[in-house]
Structure 1
Amino acid sequence: MNSPDPQPAVVLVPRAAQRRVRWKNDLGWTTELAVRPDGASEFDWRVSIAEVDADCTFSNFPGIDRSVLVLSGPGFDLHVDGEPPAPLRLGGPAHAFSGDRTTSCTLVGGPTRDFNVMTRRGRVRHSLFIAQAPTTLERAPGLGWVVYVERGAVTLAEVRAEAGECAVLEPVSEDIPPIALSGEAALVLVRLHVDSHHSAG
């Protein structure tokens, strides 16, 4: 394997490259921001924005760890089999749950859009959270990022990402300098960690 560049290229995903597709259970729509491996029948990780317009059952994804975060709208109560209801509200934290479990939601006031992360258990782990630019992102072995710009704009590695766009920083194989995100923006960040025995992409 060739040594990575000092700062690997950032992959920008503009709005025009994002795909709006039906949910796996056909009960709603989601806009797919990024998935790896791209075009594979079985993903290692996937990041999307789901449209929740009514009380519904979520798709079942065996072997997948999931997190959701409310992007807009009043939010919903998430019902995961075997767990107490989880209130997801605008501005609140993400909620992690297993794609193996039966899951449904109850809206609390109207249509809601949620940011959705899925990673395949045993291959990739993730965390999902809100942040503000300017900021910096750690670049360590096996660590990658997805940066979604909710409001404003950021520049990272000479790539400018505006509202509604996202940027993917692929996992690296060794410690490299942190990457700076300049500008003023409200961000959603996905931290991806590839297990050492598995290479994503």
Structure 2
Amino acid sequence: MAPDTSPKPQAGGAVIASGSLGRIAAVPWKNEGGQTRELCVEPPEADFSSFAWRASVADVGRDGVFSTFAGIDRTIVLLEGGGFTMHADGAQIHDLRECFVPFSFSGESDVSVRLHGAPTLDFNLMVRRDLASGEVVALSEQNSRRLPADTVLLYVAQGAACLSDVSGMQRQLRSGEFVRLREGAVLPDLLCAAGAMVLAIRIRRQT
């Protein structure tokens, strides 16, 4: 994860890292069929075989196949572009056409995609199911005040937002920026500007 080193106030100590998509270098997918930029991985520095959960943003520029990940639950969210149909075992399983609507599927599935036209930008969450469960919640001006329980990461997909807490500390966020929140901390409030969309990533550890 590439941290944003510029000095910014912390929202009640809940924010433990931050960054911007534009400052993260793109790397090939596991199967080299596309490019991805890793926002956060837990534990830090974990590889594909050892992460508990991982959040990233991927570029899909052509028809092709997704990498497979045994034991992983996946969620994908269209951020930009025309979207694509997803196929597995010879049948269509989803039409990823509408932005900011999460779709979950199994990492073991042999998924192929066919673009509707323009290349896409997609948010991806991967969670190792024997360690945790995860969810992506899309928040807008209408439903953003109180963050969902167990939120550990926020990604501003569109527009601008602000984190604030009861002490009066605030943190401004713009499109493409993200913050890592301390697990178990008192969560700050999130205020979304008109037209903004923020993805809240919830992680619940297995007991």
2:135 is aligned, of 120, 123, 127, to 127
- TM-score (structure 1 length as normaliser): 0.82
What letter is aligned with 1:37? P
121-130 vs 110-119, which deviates more? 121-130
After alignment, is 164-173 or 54-63 more displaced? 164-173
1:163 maps to a residue whose letter is S
SS of the residue corresponding to residue 85 of structure 2 reads strand
Higher alpha-carbon deviation: 156-165 or 63-72: 156-165
Aligned to 1:35: 41
Structure 1 position 83, deviation (Å): 6.0
Q: SS of the counterpart of 1:90?
A: coil
Counterpart of 1:18 in structure 2 is: 24
Shift of 1:85: 2.6
The answer to whether the aligner puts 1:167 opposite 2:179 as a matched pair is: yes
Deviation at 1:16, TM superposition (A): 5.7
Question: Does the 8 A contact of 1:77 with 1:87 survive in 2?
Answer: yes
1:189 to 187, 190, 200: 200
Could you tell me how far apart the structure 1 residues matched to 2:34 and 2:60 are?
7
Closer/same/farther in 2, CA of residues 160 and 78 from structure 1, 3 Å limit: same
Which amino acid letter does the alignment assign opposite residue 187 of structure 1? Answer: V
The residue that corresponds to 1:180 in the other structure is 189
- Partner Cα separation in structure 2 for residue 32 and residue 125 of structure 1: 19
Which blocks of at least 5 consecutive residues in structure 1 are unaligned? 1-5, 197-201
Instruction: Provide the alpha-carbon RMSD of the alignment.
Output: 2.2
Q: TM-score, normalised by structure 2?
A: 0.80
Q: Which residue of 1 aligns with 2:54?
A: 46
- Tell me by how many angstroms 1:14 deviates: 2.6
Q: Compared with structure 1, are the counterparts of its residues 151 and 39 closer, same or farther at alpha carbon in structure 2 (3 Å cutoff)?
A: same
Task: Identify if the C-alpha distance between structure 1 residues 35 and 17 changes in structure 2 by more than 3 Å, giving closer, same or farther.
Answer: farther
Q: Does 1:154 align with 2:166?
A: no
